[in-house]
Structure 1
Amino acid sequence: MSKVLLFGPLTPPLTGQAVAFTIVANSLPEQKKILIDTSKYKNPIINTFYSVFKVLFSFAFYKFSNIYFTSSRSKLGFIKDFLLLIMGLWFKKKIINHLHGADFKKFYGESIFLKPLISYAYKGVNTSIVLLNIMKNQYDDFPKMKKVVVGNCYNQELEECKNDFSKNNYQILFLSNLMYGKGIIDFLDACFVLLGNNEEIKIKIAGKLMGDTFMRQKNIEKLFKEKYNQLRGVYGERVEYLGIVKGYEKSKVLFESSIFVLPSFYPTEAYPISIIEAMRAGNAIVTTNHNYLPYIVKEKNGVIISPKSPNEIYSSVEKLINNLGQLKKIQRHNIKEAKHKYSQDRYISDIQQIILS
């Protein structure tokens, strides 16, 4: 039986791309896969050397017909991808690319010196998997490439929990990597007003503090702690930072919440798995008119707001809480939609059909 070479990041880190790739990797039995973890080490340079070595080793000593990889959109990341792609092209392998970000077209267009290499390497890609139909435009410069749509999925663990709509729930959740571009500071600013205007509201925050292109890690850590401590000083246990949550703890906080807020303006934001998980857990969604987010969250799913607007976060959440009938209608709809469109079984089946054929 022919194997498939899997090339991408395993968790940790807990990024959407790593989570999605790990689901695919774990779904295949050992006899069907050769696995290269491109995030095995914390140092990105060491990761690059490791990935290059593993690619050369795999082509020298393993037999496989297909390659499945998650494309990088950075110069250092492309170095890893480039060797894989040209080896696949020269050895006439079927290459399947999976895009999890909103910035390949920008990366390609702005890579003046790398552009010829990117163009040559991606000529060997037979199929690119994108998350939404509109994301096919990320590969407009590669007209011969087949583009296939497969949406993200929620974790299978969420199937084990149940919702209780018999009680009114005023818990608001922010669950994501805590980066400036994800809107965590805007959310905290909105929390001052939300908690002050409604004594029943509780706030839960979960995720790892991380730097991004807007703010370095030490700076976001300092700013987050300042605002969080101010909130705790005034509102006590009504606001709680849980740190990184996994497994049952993550499912529990998702199902205990009724409104999920992700006011992201993160440059590469595409199709956050956190939104899908929040929908499956019965949360109304408040997110931003940014990149592809409005194609995921419609009026029936929650509210779309402007990026960088604490006032709109506050007013949207308040509007939902003040109309509990409409809130519960949205919550029930999101559970139904998530089960229908975003199950892990559906995701695995769709991906395997592409990468194993």
Structure 2
Amino acid sequence: MKRKILIIGPFPGPPKGISLSNKVVSEGLAVKGWKVAELNTEQSDKVNSEIGTFSFQKLAFLKTYLEIYKIFAADIVYITIGITFFGVIKYAPFIILSKFLNKKTVVHLHSDHLKTEYKSLAGLKRKIFKKLMTSFDSGIVLSESLRDNLTPFVVNDSIFEVYNFVEDKLMISEETILNKDYAEIRLFFLSNLLEEKGINILLNVIKKLNREGTILKIKIAGNKIQGNNIDLILEELENVEYLGVVSGKLKQDLLLWGNIFCLPTFFSMEGQPISILEAMSFNNLILTTNHAGISDICGDENAVFCIKKSEEDLYIKLKFIISNWSELQLKAVSNGIYGRSTFTESRFITAIEEVLLTTIGA
């Protein structure tokens, strides 16, 4: 008899790691023989910078409650929950009905923000938040440093660490990746163009390097964000090519073209960026910040770290990379070996399934 799971959370949609993760979990478990049902909570095709704020547009989420009946048929309910008060409270009907029906429940957290949000709450809001979060039987975080987001709510033995992954369909032959060009620096950025992802800082540093006569080849890919208009500075920088949102072959081409991936993120909702794993798997050096769960997936052997929110330090680190490029290429190549062997889709699905089976006592 097939085990039945209901996955509740965002599905593609906007280019977000959590949506991709839910899609991969759904498809991967189906291949393993699970009967999978989905309840898509994504209500918009846009990414905006007003995360955690209330808007009437977000009331469209109410439509998802029309599918709450799917819980009745499930053996286990798997929820990729929000990380703000509203992001948690909107899942309350699903959590409450699951517990009323005595369904096993798993929460999968993709961010380092939940603990910050919980600490910021008081009174009734804090009690409601805790009551909902303590309803889960098991929890999944992306890496060890993110465990304390769930320890106030889920017993330690029922919190599991499952690293993110690189999609199988994104990968190309190792022979092709090994022929990557390192003759010149090719730097790229791949993420939603939120200010907190560090895109503004990066573009300002590039402008400074250009003024000094250090002209690097640079490509920027990602969804433009309402409230962070970077069009004017992009127009100024003739050596920067903006690609828009990339996927499939276009993303493969970018990952293969580049040799330095720069993500100077200080995003408050950050967890473990899939883009870093993708870049490593394509033999790229990583230039990033020691933020959220990033240090759990790459260290000094994989990356050059810059100080969060500091244009000056990113400038210094880029100058360091330029001066030491011949030596740092070796890190880029070793990143590929590490990334392709560690962050596989099959490993991710197997680990998720083990958590599910442990939760239902199979």
**TM-score > 0.5, shorter chain as reference:** yes
Alignment partner, residue 54 of structure 1: 67
Note the aligned Cα RMSD (angstroms).
Answer: 2.0
Specify the SS of the correspondent of 1:114: helix
In structure 2, stretches of 5+ residues that fail to align are 46-56
2:38 pairs with one of 35, 42, 47: 35
Specify the SS of the correspondent of 2:237: helix
Specify the SS of the correspondent of 2:196: helix
Q: Which amino acid aligns with 1:46?
A: A
Q: Which amino acid aligns with 2:166?
A: Y
In structure 1, stretches of 5+ residues that fail to align are 211-216, 233-237
1:130 pairs with one of 135, 141, 146: 141
Alignment partner, residue 193 of structure 1: 208
Q: Which amino acid aligns with 2:258?
A: S
| Number of equivalent positions | 339
Alignment partner, residue 74 of structure 1: 84
**2:186·2:217 contact (CA, 8 Å) conserved in 1?**
yes
Alignment partner, residue 64 of structure 1: 74
1:87 pairs with one of 88, 94, 97: 97
1:172 pairs with one of 187, 205, 212: 187
For the pair 1:155 / 2:155, whether they are aligned, the reply is no
For the pair 1:354 / 2:355, whether they are aligned, the reply is yes
For the pair 1:24 / 2:25, whether they are aligned, the reply is yes
Shift of 1:296: 2.9
Q: Give the distance between the partners of 1:136 and 1:199, measured in 2 at CA.
A: 42
Alignment partner, residue 264 of structure 1: 265
Shift of 1:179: 0.6
Q: Which amino acid aligns with 1:39?
A: E
Percent identity over the alignment? 27
1:107 pairs with one of 106, 112, 117: 117
**2:13·2:44 contact (CA, 8 Å) conserved in 1?**
no
Distance of aligned partners of 1:103 and 1:94 in 2 relative to their CA distance in 1, 3 Å threshold: same
Shift of 1:251: 1.0
What per-residue deviation string (whole Å, max 9, x for no partner) do you get for residues 224-273 of structure 1? Answer: 112111112xxxxx310001111110111111101011111111112111
Alignment partner, residue 252 of structure 2: 251
1:227 pairs with one of 225, 229, 233: 233
Q: Which amino acid aligns with 1:135?
A: L
Q: Give the distance between the partners of 1:34 and 1:184, measured in 2 at CA.
A: 37
Q: Give the distance between the partners of 1:64 and 1:129, measured in 2 at CA.
A: 19
**1:102·1:138 contact (CA, 8 Å) conserved in 2?**
yes
Q: Give the distance between the partners of 1:44 and 1:166, measured in 2 at CA.
A: 45
Alignment partner, residue 213 of structure 1: none
Q: Give the distance between the partners of 1:196 and 1:151, measured in 2 at CA.
A: 41
Q: Which amino acid aligns with 1:119?
A: K
